[in-house]
Structure 1
Amino acid sequence: MTSEQILAKYSEKISEIENHISGLKKLIDKLSYYRVGLFLLEIFLFVLLLRSENDGWRALIQIALVLPVIAFAIIVRKQSQLDTAVAYQKELLWVYQNESNVIRGHANGYDHGAKYESELHPYTSDLDIFGSSSLFALVNRCSTKSGNEVLAMQLAHNNPVNTIRERQLAIQEVAAKIDDTFSFRANLHGHDVNQIELIKTQLTSQLGQKLEFVRPVFLRFYVRLVPFLTLGLILGGILISGAFWNILVLFLVIHMGWNVLLNAKINQVFYGFGGGSNLLNGYAEAIRWTEKIDWKSAYILRLFDSKIPVSKEIKALSKIIQNFDARLNLIVGGILNALFLWDLRCCISLAKWHQSCSKDVVSALNHLGDFEELISIATLAYNQPDWVFPELAETFELKTADLGHPLIKLQERVSNDFAFETKPTVDVVTGSNMAGKSTFLRTVGINLVMAYAGAPVCASQMSTAVFALNTYMRIKDSLNESTSTFKAELNRLKMILDHVVKDKSTLVLIDEMLRGTNSRDKYLGSKVFVEKLIAEKTPALFATHDLQLADLKEKHPDTLRNFHFDIQLIDGEMKFDYKLKQGPCSTFNAGILLKQIGLSLD
């Protein structure tokens, strides 16, 4: 499918969901009218009962009074189901609208990952991996905390070659089922992320200790017996003697007092889960989708730790919590606790569930993040049908065709071919201001990050080894740390040199080194650094305005290459083609730019 066809498909789906939501809302409104009608019917029957003097009619009316109540309860339940369906459809609509917006060039509605930014990382800050208008912002489709963290980790760390290949197959398998992933995402979107993290914490380390008070055998036996005792006393009061009512009242008082004594412990359990039944139902549906598919890729199969359907275990937990939520209504909760020790029953059910199921559930909830991360990259692959999955080489190699920057809009993007020699070289890229040197370095770097995450790259062809990326581009001073620009540059160079010595797979991308010092020291420092990289056989792309560095080609003819970006002057106007060319640059634009602001160079 082309991008236009994909966008049209999303638009069609959006219209379909909007119509479905409209139909559901009309049905809900109709049921509301039915509820009002049943309420008025109940009042009418009650008035008839009060006015009727015939015993036969009174008995018939009393029976009839029950029917509107039953119908009312059925309608309320149906409306609740429809409300849940509308809520889900709204989340599904949001998911499709977000995809349409992203393709149209608007901001992605998911987290852009600013919290993962770090200037101390070897490359993420320089290559726009995290934050607004970043790679993370383009790719991310994760709603859970674990999903965001897994995606951030994949973009900030390299995988071994075999793992990358496995991830490519997994992502391609998910992309082939992309239509189903929208439902998965809708079930996870819109929930309180902190609440599910609290539930996982409860299940992992806190719940067992909090439920110690329901371990005694007598307590469990009595709570199991209570419904039968209550029912027996009620039937005894109706059929035998009023004395049974007195005993029932005594039991109710004892139960309420018992519940008050244990209320603090019950609250500790409840407030770790309260109100979480809808959230768990959504997560259970998402997990059920992962369970029902006959996955083929080894990477995905390793995400399943349990041989039994974990979604059923989560549904069971959701049911317990839903029952527990009855205590939120003081009247209903009070009656249930008095008659059946309801809160204690829920705590005992939760303890039984926790003992048998909690480990599998926590693992499955965590693995939802792994599926979200795979779906994020698979969605990118689906939305960008012209991008390709790179080939991974075991030996030193980087070869690309039509390599473009994924964060630049297609209409504005200029692609370039680029390849390393069969052995490491330092490639010096010279050129005018604004000609494209920095963008080219970032284009190479960000596409390599994508490749190592198992994602498709913005190119028509790429074959690459796995390099340890180190960049030197946006060096900032720090007033808080009393660090000048030059000191910050030295710190960055020290970090790169340490990596170069320790890791022979390092690839260095440098944009204009040592800007914080004088031109002589800048050249000498850059020269020494280039020669250090050559000595260590470390490949590098080195963007600079300093043509003296290009002259090092004479001294290192086999280990240094020259490339450039130039400008064309047409009728006094600068034109940029942003195309990478062989050799050093011979045309610069500083004099032209200075003249435009009123300064002339002799």
Structure 2
Amino acid sequence: MTDLNVNSGPHANTGPNSNTSPDANTSAQPSHAGEALHRYREHLAEIQSERDHLKVRDRTYGTIRVVLFLLAVLFWVVGYYGDVTIAQPIGWAAFIGFIVAVVLNEPVRDRIDALRRERSVFRRLVARIERDWDRLATASLSRQLGEVTLPAGQRDAAADLDLLGRASLFHLVSMTATTPGIRTLASWLTGPAISSDAIERTKAIETLAPLREERLRFYVTARKVAESSGDPDRFTTWATGPRWLESRKWLSGWANLSAIVAIAFVLAMLLGFLVLGSATWFKIGLFGLLGVGIINVTLTGVALGPAHAIFSIAMASRGAVDDYRELFAAAERLPTDNDANNTEPSNTAHLQNIRDTLVAGPRSAAAGMLALQKVAAAGALRQSAATFLIYLPLQAFALWDVRVLKRLEQWQQDYSDVVAGWFESLGQFESLMSLAALRDEYPSWTTPEWKNDSSDRSVEAIGIGHPLLTDESRVRNDVTVGPPGTLLLVTGSNMSGKSTMLRSIGLNVALAGTGAPVCATRFALPSIELATSIRVSDNLSEGVSFYMAELHRLKQVVDHARRLAEKEDRVLLFLLDEILQGTNSRERQIAVVQVLRHLIGFEAIGAISTHDLELADEPELNSIAHTVHFRETITTDDDGNDTMTFDYQMRQGVSPTTNALRLLEMVGLGPKA
């Protein structure tokens, strides 16, 4: 059964009890990411050293603050009750010292917080190289990935190939933190691998890969934005939606009128008190002012609830707006066609489009966020304890919130048609920054070669490996899938590496589609859409048996091939692992051949694995299949104990061995003596 295959998942060969063997094909190659891992660990050590030093300073400032505050209180009490003249000035001096300590302490705490985010970034960089899936798959990121919507076929392929999820390709390549970045990278990984898109992305990735410092600053800023800012989807929905205040213009009119009336009543109070010496005018002004305040406070509670909800979406805080502006402004550091040191201007074309959207011109994302920041500064009066006493009279007598909302909706009118493009470009920018790290860390991984000739529709790989395995446990093989009219038949015993080979092909196709380097010495492919049937389960709640679930999945794969048969710019690559196990052997052989007949008829290319050696002898299948196999080696020690090992090397021809009964014996379920 496929479930027994210890080499069928990304972490199959990485556990403490795993059965691995040295990679014969890559023993001469260095640990590709070793240099990057060393660099990241050095950075982590520097961060931890600085953080420890600052924590000592923070504790010192904390002690000073407590001591000075207590001294201030003590001397104030002594001065007030003890009639000690010098005590009061000393108390005020201590209090001033307390304020100075608070002011000096804040930058230290801000730096500690910044170092925490920086440490988090480097820990993720290290965890990616070490394939530490537990550290990579955080609850927050898993939740966001779970919210990514995919068509049925892409969702199944993502599950089969570990494209998303806990121990997945996404976690290997991703340094994304914001929602647009996570969504964009996930869509690239699970979408079709189209040569034109991939080539443009590759050029951008190659340009970004050497910019280590710029990328690291970007990762830290993106993490800060993700922690502090509101939901970009809600922001975009608000920005492109209707304007709430536009249909309630009476509020703007009353806000202006109430301010004028409030000023008039204040003048009446001053006139009565200072000029006329009349208590009547003073009372008229006072009660009139109170009336305006009561009306506006009532309106705040009754009518302005939706306005406050808009504030929470459009400008969660002044700091959140500034964080996004800073993240958008990071695109200013991108190389441009006009840079003197840019010898290959065409390499930056994709990045130039992103740069234009994010930082170039008066309607760029950075300019828009700068304008919004000015509105947020006015709106922040109600959010800060330091300015709330200023906000109260402004709101009570002039409906300050309505004035802020009016400015906010003017901003909405000015930028509504470009906001969605900002976040789309941000998602692309963040995804490219993530993939650039992979290019920098694995210089020996190859750039895919794209076949644009419709007469050459095959996948050719030399030294292909499973990218989710570590360098030490990965075994590489040479494999070709295609051309149309043929298929790769992978045979072998349980746990020998069949499923891993299928996933290695699919994962590297997905990598190629993003524009990233692939885990191979050479990898050539046409534009491809993936369809898989590897992990299939029954659904008892819907009354679907395992066999019927397999049939539904295979029907989905065949329908996909039928749709692509009409397109000349791409081909379907199917990967089928031990299919139709839920029926008897003879019917299974007939059914498998029938399914493959459909796929071959629609000019799809693909690979199918099986440990059913009779299926490999099926005449019709044998006539179109290129058959390869994996095998095991069983050795017996002096005490008569059997040990089964695998070298995971792919060989030509049908597997000459099976191991199901021997495995049965090895776990103690053999025939009774």
Same fold, TM-score > 0.5, yes or no: yes
- The 3 A distance-change label for structure 1 pair 365 and 465 is closer
Q: Which residue of 2 aligns with 1:300?
A: 351
Aligned residue for 2:560? 499
Q: What does residue range 346-495 of structure 1 map to in structure 2 within 5 Å?
A: 346-361=404-419, 363-395=421-453, 396-420=457-481, 424-495=485-556
1:448 shift after superposition: 0.7
Q: For each residue in 1:356-381, what CA deviation from the matched residue of structure 2 results, as whole angstroms up to 9, or x when unmatched?
A: 34554554245322222222222233
The 1:234/1:579 distance shift into structure 2, 3 A limit, reads farther
Amino acid paired to 1:286: L
Q: How far does residue 515 in structure 1 lie from its aligned partner after superposition?
A: 0.4
In the superposition, relative to structure 1, how do residues 294 and 260 fare at CA in structure 2: closer, same or farther (>3 Å)? Answer: same
Paired residue for 1:138, among 163, 172, 180?
A: 172
Contact 2:537 2:546 (8 Å CA) reproduced: yes
Report the Cα distance in structure 2 between the residues aligned to 1:555 and 1:329, rounded to whole angstroms. 78
In the alignment, which residue of structure 2 is the partner of 1:129?
163
- In the alignment of these two chains, the number of paired residues is 592
Q: Distance in 2 between matches of 1:76 and 1:232?
A: 41
Contact between 2:128 and 2:173, CA under 8 Å: does it hold in 1? no
Could you tell which deviates more after superposition, 463-472 or 70-79?
70-79
Cα separation, 2, equivalents of 1:448 and 1:314: 42
Instruction: Give 1:273 deviation, angstroms.
Output: 2.9
- Match for residue 585 of structure 1 among 638, 655, 660: 655
2:267, 2:330 → 1: CA distance? 45
- Displacement of 1:561: 1.3
Name the counterpart of 1:550: 616
- The correspondence for 1:205, drawn from 241, 262, 276, is 241
- 1:170-319 matches, within 5 Å, as 170-189=204-223, 190-191=226-227, 195-205=231-241, 208-210=243-245, 212-213=247-248, 218-219=253-254, 221=256, 249-250=286-287, 252-263=289-300, 264-274=302-312, 275-295=316-336, 297-303=348-354, 304-305=356-357, 307-308=361-362, 309-319=367-377
Relative to structure 2, which stretch is displaced further, 544-553 or 479-488? 544-553
Deviation at 1:581, TM superposition (A): 0.8
Partners of 2:38 and 2:502 lie apart in 1 by: 35
Secondary structure in 2 aligned to 1:125?
helix
- Listed one character per residue, the Cα deviations across residues 129-177 of structure 1 (whole Å, up to 9, x for unaligned) are 1211121232232222222221221122114311110011122223232
Q: Any conservation in 1 of the 2:193–2:509 contact (CA below 8 Å)? A: no
Asked whether the 8 Å contact 1:564–1:583 carries over to 2, the reply is yes
Cα distance, 1:536 vs. partner?
Answer: 3.9
Q: Is the 8 A contact 2:71 2:91 kept in 1?
A: no
What secondary structure is seen at the aligned counterpart in 2 of 1:191?
helix
TM-score, with length taken from structure 2? 0.76
Tell me how far apart the structure 1 counterparts of residues 397 and 95 of structure 2 sit (CA, whole Å): 22
Bigger drift between 463-472 and 431-440 goes to 463-472
Q: Distance in 2 between matches of 1:354 and 1:300?
A: 27
Structure 2 counterpart of 1:529, one-letter code: V
- For 1:5, give the aligned amino acid: E
What is the CA–CA distance in structure 2 between the aligned matches of 1:232 and 1:37, rounded to whole Å?
Answer: 45
Describe the SS at the equivalent of 1:515: coil
2:6 corresponds in structure 1 to none
CA distance in 1, matches of 2:597, 2:194: 29
- Secondary structure of the residue aligned to 1:480 is helix
Q: Residues 93-134 of structure 1, C-alpha deviation per residue, up to 9 Å, x if partnerless?
A: 211122223323323155243455887545222111121112
CA distance in 1, matches of 2:65, 2:262: 34
The AA in structure 2 aligned to 1:279 is A
Q: Which amino acid aligns with 1:204?
A: T
Q: Which is further off, 268-277 or 446-455? A: 268-277
Name the CA distance, whole Å, in 2 between partners of 1:595 and 1:197. Answer: 57
Contact 1:500 1:536 in 2 (8 A): yes
Q: Whole-Å Cα distance in 2 between the matches of residues 474 and 532 of structure 1?
A: 21
Determine if contact 2:251/2:402 at 8 Å carries over to the other structure: no
Distance change >3 Å, CA 318–CA 368, structure 1 → 2 = farther
Superposed counterparts of 1:21-36, under 5 Å: 21-22=51-52, 33=64
Q: Deviations over 1:188-207 (max 9, x none)?
A: 3252676444343333325x
Distance 1:421 1:184, change over 3 A: closer
Question: 2:10 corresponds to which residue?
Answer: none
The one-letter code of the counterpart of 1:519 is S
Amino acid in the other structure paired with 2:36:
I
What fraction of aligned residue pairs are identical, expressed as a percent?
Answer: 26
Establish whether residue 522 from structure 1 lines up as the match of residue 580 from structure 2. Answer: no
- Distance in 2 (CA, whole Å) between partners of 1:524 and 1:65 is 95
SS at match of 2:617: helix
Change (3 A) 1:530 1:196: closer
Q: Which amino acid aligns with 1:130?
A: L
Worse-matched range after superposition: 563-572 or 441-450: 563-572
For residue 477 of structure 1, give the secondary structure of its aligned residue in structure 2. Answer: coil
Residues 195, 29 of structure 1: CA spacing in aligned structure 2 closer, same or farther, 3 A cutoff? farther
Q: Distance in 2 between matches of 1:174 and 1:39?
A: 54
- TM-score, structure 1 normalization: 0.84
Task: Structure 1 unaligned segments of length 5 or more: list them.
Answer: 55-60
Tell me which amino acid in the other structure corresponds to 2:177: S
The 8 Å contact of residues 203 and 358 in structure 1, kept in 2 or not, is answered as yes
Secondary structure class of the residue paired with 2:241: helix
Deviates further, 166-175 or 224-233: 224-233
Shift of residue 383, structure 1, vs aligned partner: 3.0
The one-letter amino acid paired with 2:479 is: F
CA distance in structure 2 between the aligned counterparts of 1:42 and 1:246, rounded to whole angstroms: 41
CA deviations 1:368-406 (Å, max 9, x no partner) are 222222222222333333322211111313221211111
Secondary structure at the residue paired with 1:375?
helix
- Aligned residue for 1:540? 606
Report the CA distance between 1:289 and its aligned residue. Answer: 0.9
Q: Tell me if structure 2 keeps the 8 A contact 1:17–1:93.
A: yes
Letter in 2 for 1:284: R
Larger displacement relative to structure 2 (325-334 or 543-552): 325-334
Q: 1:525 corresponds to which letter in structure 2? A: A
Q: Are residues 229 and 9 of structure 1, via their aligned partners in 2, closer, same or farther at CA, if it must alter by over 3 Å?
A: farther
8 Å Cα contact 1:472/1:513 also seen in 2? yes
Letter aligned with residue 659 of structure 2: N
> Are the counterparts in 2 of residues 326 and 333 from structure 1 also a CA contact under 8 Å?
no
Cα deviation digits, residues 503-547 of structure 1 (max 9, x gap): 131122111221011111011222333344444443221211222
**Structure 1 counterpart of 2:33:** 3
Query: 1:437 Cα shift?
Result: 0.9
- Give 5+ residue unaligned stretches, structure 2: 1-30, 338-347, 566-570, 637-641
Q: Which of 552, 556, 576 lines up with 1:510 in the alignment?
A: 576
Q: Output the aligned Cα RMSD.
A: 4.1
Instruction: Name the SS of the counterpart of 2:472 in structure 1.
Output: coil
Distance in 2 of aligned mates of 1:114 and 1:381: 27
2:122 matched residue in structure 1:
96
CA distance in 1, matches of 2:332, 2:262: 37
Paired position in structure 1 for 2:670: 599
Residue type at the aligned position of 1:265: A
